[in-house]
Amino acid sequence: MTIGLRGKGMAGPTPPGGAASNVARRANRRASLARAVQRGGALLVLAVVTIMGAAVFGSRFASVDNLLNILEASSFLGLVAVGMTFVIIGGGIDLSVGSLLALSAVLAAYGSQFGTFGAIALPLAVCGLIGLTNGLLTARAGMAPFIVTLATLLFARGLAFAVSDEGNTIFHIDEHLDVIKLGQGALLGIRIPVIVAGLAFLVGWVVLTRTRYGVTVSAIGGSEDAARLMGAPVARVKTLMYLASALLAGVAGLLVAARSSSGQSTIGVGLELQAIAAVVIGGTLLTGGSGSITGTLAGVLLLNVIDNLINQVGTLSAYIQQVVSGVFLLVVVVVQTYLSRQQRL
């Protein structure tokens, strides 16, 4: 459209102008292709991997039971990844989520001796406080998010160990408490954690795409200074972002505890890396400013489907899985960086 107008203004396109517009058109097409791959790539790979899995393993993989299992396994990572998506779009990073999940699980099991209310309120209150600390230190004090959340990673894990007698005590949740239903109950055949995670994705999607808050998060990730100059409440929005991330990790920990009727202080190690990987695979840029919740959903499901398939093979060691996920993350990030550079050209 622009190119056409310019051509008219110049009273007949000259050959070099024509060549230039061709180049521009090609660059444009390449940019929109790159954008499409970045947006929908995870979904595409997910579809391909799922179909391949069904073809190779048949009903061992593609049974309703197994697919529901994958959904349930995805729900805990999913909750954490929703929060991480906002933090990364907002230009930050939250490394404390894995430790917070463990802390929440331990506190939920510990709090369950005071009934269902204690089992829910205690972990969420503590995780909320730590999330608030993350938020205030990064947003108000202007400290680097990765070092703040690295420190709270250490702190939360320390607290989880302190509560559980250096990990020697594993608190159990009474099977008769209502809180157990959060982990083990089901509604219309779908387990509660899956429903909770689904709700989190829905709310996250609405907030990110349909509210002023979501727009502000993207603006801050794009350019914090510009967002501030436009009068956006940068500090408040960022604080809320870390608070939400910590609370979602807390909810995930609570669900894990309810699912396993106990709280263990050693779970969730490296979960932050999985969450970051899921977010990045879903097309959210690590540089902040743009991304999508639906992409994150595809990323989470993709990671879990791959995990499930590796388990179906059954001969690969956990160490190889570690190598594969590290390499996978790096490949995705390299491709993402390449694609976003294509768009800018």
Partner 1 sequence: MAWIAERGVYLGLLAIVAFNLVFTPHFATLDNARLQFVQVVPVAIVALGMALVIGTKGIDLSVGSVMAIASALVPLFLGYGVGVAIVVAIVGGALVGVVNGSLIAFARIQPIVATLGLLVGARGLALVLAQGRLTEVFDPTLTWIGSGNVAGIPIVTIIALAVALVVGVVVRQTTFGRYVVAIGGNPDASVLAGVPVPRTLLSVYVLSAVLAALAGVVQTARLAASDPSFVGNLIELSAITAVVVGGTPLSGGRVRIMGTLAGAMLFQLIGATLISHDLRDSATRMVAAVIILAAVYVQRVRGAA
User: Which residues here bind partner 1, judged by CB under 8 A?
Assistant: 93, 137, 141-144, 146-148, 150-152, 154-155, 157-162, 166, 270, 273, 276, 280, 286-287, 317, 319-327, 329-330, 333-334, 337-338
CB of 66 vs partner 1, minimal distance in Å: 26
SS3 assignment, position 262: strand
C-beta closer to partner 1: residue 194 or 285: 285
Smallest CA-to-CA distance from 158 within 132, 130, 138 is with 130
CB 247 within 8 A of CB 85: no
Q: Are 288 and 146 in contact (CB under 8 A)?
A: no
- Tell me the C-alpha distance between 12 and 329, whole Å: 50
Burial profile 255-275: b = 16 or more Cβ within 10 angstroms, e = fewer:
bbbbbbbbbbbebbeebbebb
Which of 63, 322 has the CB closer to partner 1? 322
Cβ proximity to partner 1: between 147 and 226 the closer is 147
Cβ 215 vs Cβ 86: under 8 Å: no
CA 184 to CA 129: how far, in whole Å?
A: 28
Q: Which is nearer to partner 1, 117 or 338 (CB)?
A: 338
Report the nearest approach of partner 1 to the CB of residue 320 (Å).
Answer: 6
Taking the complex as a whole, the smallest distance from the CB of residue 103 to partner 1 amounts, in Å, to 11
Nearer to partner 1, 58 or 158 (CB): 158
Residues 179 and 122: beta-carbon distance below 8 Å: no
- Nearest approach, Cβ of 143 to partner 1 (angstroms)? 5
- Nearest alpha-carbon partner for 297 in 42, 4, 98: 42
- The CB-of-115 to partner 1 minimum distance in angstroms stands at 26
Of residues 149 and 261, the one with the C-beta less far from partner 1: 149
DSSP labels, 36-74: HHHHHHHHHHHHHHHHHHHHHHGGGTSSHHHHHHHHHHH
Between 183 and 288, CB nearer to partner 1? 288
CB of 50 to partner 1, least distance (A): 24
Specify the residue, 79 or 93, whose C-beta has the smaller distance to partner 1: 93
**Would you mind telling me the total number of residues written for the chain in this entry?**
345
What is the nearest approach in angstroms of partner 1 to the Cβ of residue 78?
Answer: 20
Residue 185 phi/psi, 5-degree rounding, is -75, 170
- Least separation in angstroms between residue 92's CB and partner 1 is 11
Cβ neighbours for 77, distance < 8 A, ≥ 6 positions apart: 252, 271, 274, 275, 278, 300, 303, 304
